[in-house]
Copies of this chain bind each other. A is one copy, B any other.
Amino acid sequence: MKPNFSLRLRVFNLNCWGIPYLSKHRADRVKRLGDFLNRESFDLALLEEVWSEQDFQYLRQKLLPAYPAAHYFRSGIIGSGLCVFSKHPIQEFTQHVFTLNGYPYMIHHGDWFCGKAVGLLVLHLGGLVLNAYVTHLHAEYNRQKDIYLAHRVAQAWELAQFIHHTSKKADVVLLCGDLNLHPKDLGCRLLKEWTGLHDAFLETRDFKGPEEGCTMVPENCYVNRQELEQFPLGIRIDYVLYKAVSGLYISCKTLRTTTGHEPHSGSPLSDHEALMATLCVRHSPPQHNPSPTHAERSPLISVLREAWAELDQGMAQGRWWATIAGYVTGLGLLLLALLCALAAGGEIREVAVLLWTPSVGLVLGAGAFYLFHVQEAKGLCRARAELQHVLGRAREAQDQPALLLGQQEGDRAEEQ
């Protein structure tokens, strides 16, 4: 790598709101998105909510000259909705589907059927290894009484762990996506603290877009204004996050966000705003990473503690639902036995036969509910155990500042 090395990276991110039959003007918006991406010629375009594979294939054909590499991340029943278009060859890709992603019986919310995931692309640019991640976390339907909070925190943790474990040899890490988390939400803080990723909006000196960097704004004609009642300026839930390893320096030169309409035609591309970042990677003079001080570590410890408590509460709730469902299944089985006896005895036979269907439904439904919540509690317990371990190590590091956490290779094992 040359000493005066510099790499400029232009990145585009958009939650495309591409629900077949439900999202307004989908075909037109996808066409305009393709035109826009062709005109702008970014290095990487990372998209969420491209639920229809036909839309992806349409964009793939349209963008082929400017973005020769592309990938659609398939998962779950409907899909992850994630896809990517790249000007540069994609060296490797893989994905991780989140263990917990809502409830199958919340059909009207639909997240469970999607298989929300994080996709990883490895690119080699100017001698650097770039790990680019694209993700979309579980939606927030009711901020006051959020039944999905524990799941979203667990997803943020899994996302952070996936990035942590798969990016150890990367020079530059980039994460784009719709996190469905406000900047100060627990999941967002957890993700940033554990991965060390920086927020383009907070870091850049050249931002143009809605106030406070909002990515869902009331000016957008597709936005449900009721959802933004509490937030007159809008909300910021879509992010460009990045970091570079020691010896390299990354900065966000400019960040542009659409403001409720596409710059060229005036109509919005989606109900979310698009993020366009220009990142610059430079070879900074090699410098020793300072040991984290107590003050630097404490946010990690406090956010880990907070997340632990949230997962613990979610786990208790999951177990409570499993217990209730277990009892209901047992009662349903008793009812079925009673109905069989009544039908066989000839008393109120027709009523017994009529009640047969709802009773079988009750047993099967409660049984499935039981199994689902057992699995939910196990998933939350797993995330809690990982968090607890990291918390323990962070506390040790606080007590012995020389012992660094995570990436650092302090070795306490005996040499044999």
Mark A residues whose CB is within 8 Å of B. 7-9, 43, 71-77, 79, 88-97, 99, 113, 115, 120, 123-129, 161, 165-166, 168-169, 350, 353-354, 356-357, 360-361, 364, 371, 374-375, 378-379, 381-382, 385-386, 389-390, 393, 406, 409-416
Verify A91–B393 contact, CB threshold 8 A. Answer: yes
Contacts of A115 in B (CB 8 A): 375, 378
User: A121: shortest Cβ distance to chain B, in Å?
Assistant: 11
Known: A43-B416, A73-B382, A90-B389. 12 other contacts (CB 8 A): A77-B375, A89-B412, A94-B161, A94-B165, A124-B409, A125-B416, A126-B416, A127-B409, A129-B409, A165-B166, A168-B168, A350-B350
User: A6: shortest Cβ distance to chain B, in Å?
Assistant: 8
Verify A75–B382 contact, CB threshold 8 A. Answer: yes
Contacts of A350 in B (CB 8 A): 350, 353
The 9 closest A-B pairs by CB, nearest first: A126-B415, A168-B169, A124-B411, A88-B413, A74-B382, A125-B413, A165-B166, A357-B357, A74-B378
Number of copies: 2
Contacts of A91 in B (CB 8 A): 393
User: A344: shortest Cβ distance to chain B, in Å?
Assistant: 14
Contact of A413 with B89 at beta-carbon distance under 8 Å, contacts A79-B378, A378-B76, A385-B74 already known: yes
Contact of A77 with B374 at beta-carbon distance under 8 Å, contacts A93-B389, A411-B127, A415-B127 already known: yes
Identify which of B43, B71, B79, B378 contacts A77 (C-beta below 8 A). Answer: B378
User: A96: shortest Cβ distance to chain B, in Å?
Assistant: 7
Verify A99–B97 contact, CB threshold 8 A. Answer: yes
Contacts of A409 in B (CB 8 A): 124, 127, 129
Verify B354–A77 contact, CB threshold 8 A. Answer: no
